[in-house]
Amino acid sequence: MKIETKLAMAAILAAAATTSAFAQAPGADTYKAKCQSCHGAQGIPNPGIAKAMGVKPANDPSVTSISETQMIADTTNGKGKMPAFKGKLTDAQIKDSVDYFRSLGK
């Protein structure tokens, strides 16, 4: 095998490894687009939003005690000042964004 071929193969493998290392969790893009403005990039809302909207951090015990099923229902149908995302997001997008949010609380 020629040295050029070996170098090309090594470059392709390195690029593939780098790409997979930076792959985002499912739901991250949806969370960033639809949820982050209120819930915060890391699951911690800014103090103004927290106070005005009653949003709690993802790691708050009152949030971590909510089941995944209930969070999906709350996201789908809306709760309090949070709008419903039914018809705006697919069921899979809602589940993935809820899973992503829950991972921020761990």
CATH number, domain of 81, equals 1.10.760.10
Position 52 in a domain: yes
Higher pLDDT, 75 or 10: 75
92: helix, strand or coil: helix
CA distances (Å), origin 103, targets 16, 73, 88, 98: 25, 18, 23, 9
Spell out the residues 6+ positions from residue 31 whose beta carbon is closer than 8 angstroms to its own: 39, 97, 100, 101
Q: Does 10 score more than 60 pLDDT?
A: no
60: helix, strand or coil: coil
Q: How confident is the model at residue 22 (pLDDT cuts 50, 70, 90)?
A: low
Q: Could you report the per-residue pLDDT of 47-85, keeping only the tens digit for each? A: 998 999 999 999 999 999 999 999 999 999 999 999 999
Position 74 in a domain: yes
Q: Decide: residue 97, CB within 10 A, 0-12 exposed, 13-18 middle, 19+ buried.
A: buried
Q: What is the mean pLDDT of the chain?
A: 86
Q: How confident is the model at residue 19 (pLDDT cuts 50, 70, 90)?
A: very low
